[in-house]
Structure 1
Amino acid sequence: MFGVDWLGLAVPLAYLGILLGSLATFSSLYRKRKAHNAASLEPWFPAHLQRDIYFSLLHLEPSSNEKKSPAIPDSIFKASLLRRAAEDIRRIMALRSQKQALSTLLQRGSVGDDLWKRFERAEKEMEDEVKDVASEANAYVPGWGQTIFQSANEMLNNEIYRKRMEEQASNVEEERKWWDKKKTSIQEGFMKELEEDSSATKTTPTSTTTKDLDTASTTSPAPGASVQGSDDDAVLVEAENTSSTPNSPASAKKKGKGKK
């Protein structure tokens, strides 16, 4: 039997040990750095105010005065939890609407991996938040965790409709002022047109009368000429009458001569 050469095996064993140790150290440092970078990333959403209010109500301690403050009723907790669920629905809807566009930009290289990591972390946080809200709702009323988000969605829709109605009511006054200005401008335009029409009707009769007078003066004959013409006409008529009357002496003489 040959003896084992431990000196020859010590070198490769030491190499393997150093290699495994360096790999373990590198992996641990890499994980810590990755966790630190993930924690240092800016959150996708701002602070969850409704969740903070709910937790503050849960951890609210009675005052140390002689008269103890009354206990907070469960209706306050339920209302706060409902508000928290409504905010969760709003954030989930925002994530769903942004995911497709963000994935397209990531494939094109328009955004970095840090932004996608922030988005994934926000999705994970919302999943945990939904589970927490459902468990809290079941703690108050059994089975409420299945319907709390439906109630929160209805409440959110009512808030949206109320805001729209308020915006419309605020715009009514502005629209009314605009319509009043437009109505006054239209009335002023009508009044100007009426004034122009009335002034035109007043000026047209005077112009027509002056034109008639001018035409009458040009067509009417002079007084002397008209009298002379009438006298000549009278003489001619009398001559014709005298010549045409059968009882005149000249006509009688002509008839007598003819008989002879």
Structure 2
Amino acid sequence: MDSIFTENLSKRMYLDLKQLEQKVNDKVLKAALMRRGAESIRRTLKLREITPHFLALYQQGSIGDELFKNFEIHSRLQEEELKEVAMEAESIQQGWATTFFPIVQEICFNEALRRRLNVLDDRGVELNKLWNGLHATATATAAEL
């Protein structure tokens, strides 16, 4: 079955760190779990965002049963991922899961905001180049007249 999302690198990195033979610093392990949690939150929010659209397409017959079941499976897997992240947070520090999720949700939102700002910055640079090109062309045309 094809995955809706690309590989979860944050999860793989956390599991790799956890399985290392030598002891990993607790702060590094916590940071890796927070990255994993932020990615899990992002994926969960994305699934919740597209669920109504997926349901509408399925009800209209625009997508088949197989694709819809694939979507449902991925939604359940993502719920299990969140539970697993919560258990990992509790195993690192008792009671941490209650403060863990608000922190990783904030990380997730900050990353989304940073991505949007970077897109705007890139668009500004492109528009500036376009404006300078148009201005140079207009100046050259005016000089010829």
TM-score by length of 2: 0.82
1:129 equivalenced with 2:57 (yes/no):
no
Amino acid of the structure 1 residue aligned with 2:24: I
Task: Classify the secondary structure of the residue corresponding to 2:24.
Answer: coil
Matching residue of 1:57: 17
RMSD: 2.3
Q: Identify if the C-alpha distance between structure 1 residues 179 and 47 changes in structure 2 by more than 3 Å, giving closer, same or farther.
A: closer
CA drift of 1:170 comes to 3.1
Matching residue of 2:39: 87
Amino acid of the structure 1 residue aligned with 2:40: D
Q: Identify if the C-alpha distance between structure 1 residues 181 and 89 changes in structure 2 by more than 3 Å, giving closer, same or farther.
A: same
CA drift of 1:78 comes to 0.6
Contact conserved, 1:45 with 1:122, CA < 8 A, in 2?
no
Spell out, residue by residue over 1:99-119, the C-alpha distance to the aligned partner (whole angstroms, 9 max, x if none).
212222222222222122212
CA drift of 1:186 comes to 4.9
Q: Which residue, 100, 105, 112 being the options, matches 1:160?
A: 112
1:170 equivalenced with 2:122 (yes/no):
yes
1:104 equivalenced with 2:64 (yes/no):
no
CA drift of 1:89 comes to 1.1
Q: Identify if the C-alpha distance between structure 1 residues 183 and 119 changes in structure 2 by more than 3 Å, giving closer, same or farther.
A: closer
CA drift of 1:189 comes to 3.0
Spell out, residue by residue over 1:80-131, the C-alpha distance to the aligned partner (whole angstroms, 9 max, x if none).
1111111111111121122212222222222222122212211221121111
Output the CA distance in 1 between the equivalents of 2:44 and 2:142: 56
- Structure 2 unmatched ranges of 5 or more: none
Amino acid of the structure 2 residue aligned with 1:58: K
CA drift of 1:57 comes to 0.8
Matching residue of 2:142: 189
Q: In percent, how many aligned pairs have the same letter?
A: 33
Task: Classify the secondary structure of the residue corresponding to 1:147.
Answer: helix
Matching residue of 1:150: 102
By relative contact order (CA 8 Å, sep 6+), the higher-ranking structure is 2
Q: Identify if the C-alpha distance between structure 1 residues 167 and 127 changes in structure 2 by more than 3 Å, giving closer, same or farther.
A: closer
1:72 equivalenced with 2:24 (yes/no):
yes
CA drift of 1:155 comes to 1.2
Contact conserved, 2:38 with 2:107, CA < 8 A, in 1?
yes
Matching residue of 1:42: 2
Matched positions, count = 144
Output the CA distance in 2 between the equivalents of 1:141 and 1:107: 45
Amino acid of the structure 1 residue aligned with 2:142: G
CA drift of 1:157 comes to 2.0
